[in-house]
Chain A
Amino acid sequence: MHGRCGFTCGLFGFSLLILLMPTMGAANEAGKKLAQQGGEGVQACSSCHGAQGGGNAAAGWPRLAGLNADYMAQQLTAMADGTRSNPIMAPIASALSEQQRGDVAEYFASLKPPTMAPGGEVDQKTLHRGETLAQRGDWQQGIPACTSCHGLQGQGVGVAFPSIAGQPAMYLQNQIKAWQSGSRHNDPNGLMASVAKRLSDEDSQAVTAWFASLPAKPSNNDQ
């Protein structure tokens, strides 16, 4: 009985794999092509985000490799509809169809994040303040630990809480500013906007420097 089930199940699984392979491949191929060569009205993602999606720390462009696919697809939609205002990305995101956003997000999600931390020049005292904020928060200011939502190592939790470990400090700081000003307001339930508004410039600099000092961690599965 066991053997027969094994054979049947195996056969079923194999057939399923054969059936799914072309679609999976197609999505990744289409996403890969967009990422590396661009498309109509769309420049290649890799020209700014790096050939392997590792980002560009000096320019403040984010790492995409290994981020949650659904999160990235949602961000492209938000940049197209203006809930995440970004002058560089808006025309690109608007030129992509929903299918293309999904394809390109899936492609970057499948890439391994860089093993090196983006880092940056920062003194030990600032890093220590950043670590304290990230892991314990500052409750006098109403700031919970970043890791309580983004995961213990900042690796991200599901689609709502992106990976922030190993993101360039400048990128993270720009996002905090965008929430403070309201130019980015696509966060679920306004959670991040609320926290960002409680962060001082010094604390924002410290906590982003600390996350940039970490290498990216493998993303967390939802549940």
Chain B
Amino acid sequence: MTAKDSKHPLRGIRSPLLPAVLALFVLSVNAQVDETLTEQVELEPAPEAGAEGYHQPPSLDDIPEGPFGDSVRSGWEAFVNTRQHPKAKRFVGNKQNCGNCHLAGGLAANSAPMWGAWGIYPKYRGKNDHVNTMDERIRGCFTYSMNANSSEAGGPPEPDSQVLKDLQTFFFWSAQGAPIGKNLPGRGYAAVPEPQNGSSVSRGEEVYQNQCSICHGSDGSGKFADDGRQIFPPLWGAGAYNWGAGMHRINTAAAFIKYNMPLGKASPVEKEAVLTDQQAWDVAAYINSHERPQDPRWEGNKASTDEKWHTHQCLYNETVRGHTLGDGAG
């Protein structure tokens, strides 16, 4: 086995599993031509909220009875506890829930709310030259943020499968009354301009240990209840989002962190922060200077994967603390 082979995501698999490995491999090769695995494009920033404020989703207490309401509830439950949801858990290949990156169960402005995402799909993307649907977009989330290729199912949910229907029913319900086709105030994360001198991993480590480690652990491994339910998500290592997830980008992580973390100190809906822009960028760099599951678009080596898929603000294939990142974890 050459050094390059040893970095392959399928390394270390024992031979009795070969048929399964081959099947997985075929799946992942298929997945590579699947549009869910194309590069995520940076979206236009959302406009500031005007006098009317943000879209107000309905209360979870007002989910109607009957089959439609059941689907909304199932979608919401899959969103907040994806790892243990009967229909969703097969597709989770790490220790994350959707609600970890979309606070308030996907309902808070400036925390990438689902009501903000709902109305901007389907969307044509020049990158993959076709009209991308919400169904496809969620499959992308599973592939990267939930590392679906390492899940029990070996990949994201099939198109139009029940879990995707339920999630979309929940999104639709939360967006009721919001205009379609508009970039709504509060959509996505509120962008944080890059500081003049960029970001620093070592300064970020200090921010992390002071502000983040109490919940996420000084080793980034998160915290779990005795019944296995996640309390605080892992931020790096095998349990974290993979090298293809949007959150591995320093600008995206900084935007999430600034108005969402530390939980209870920042306030996304009020757009209040306790970290400075510099601290948000530094800690985003520190968190993303650790290994995490391999990019599913692996091109055979770090340099090629970097060149093809990582032409954005991230540390993939960069050398930090004497280690060139991108080996993967898990």
Contact = CB atoms under 8 A, between A and B. Distances in A.
Interface string A205-223: 0000000000000001111
Interface residues of B, number: 29
Nearest to A195: B264
B104 A137 contact: yes
Nearest to B231: A157
Given A149-B231, A189-B210, A220 B265 contact: no
A144 B103 contact: yes
A149 B215 contact: yes
Nearest to A147: B231
Contact of B225 (A132, A188, A190, A220): A220
Contacts of A141: 267, 270
Nearest to B272: A142
Interface string A129-145: 00010001101111110
Interface string A154-190: 0101101000000000000000000000000000111
B264 A144 contact: yes
Contacts of A149: 215, 231, 263-264
A189 B60 contact: no
B21 interface: no
B214 A160 contact: yes
Contacts of A222: 223
A122 interface: no
Interface in B241-280: 262-270, 272, 274
B114 interface: no
Contacts of A143: 264
B61 to A, nearest CB: 8
B52 interface: no
Nearest to A146: B264
A99 interface: no
A142 B267 contact: yes
B211 A139 contact: no
Interface string A45-56: 000000000000
Given A136-B60, A149-B231, 7 more contacts: A142-B270, A144-B104, A152-B229, A189-B262, A190-B265, A192-B264, A223-B221
20 contacts: A136-B104, A139-B103, A139-B107, A141-B267, A143-B264, A144-B104, A149-B264, A151-B231, A152-B231, A160-B214, A188-B214, A190-B265, A191-B262, A192-B264, A194-B264, A194-B265, A194-B274, A220-B225, A220-B226, A221-B226
The 10 residue pairs across chains A and B that have the minimum distance between CB atoms: A142-B267, A195-B264, A139-B104, A194-B265, A139-B108, A188-B214, A139-B269, A144-B263, A144-B264, A142-B270
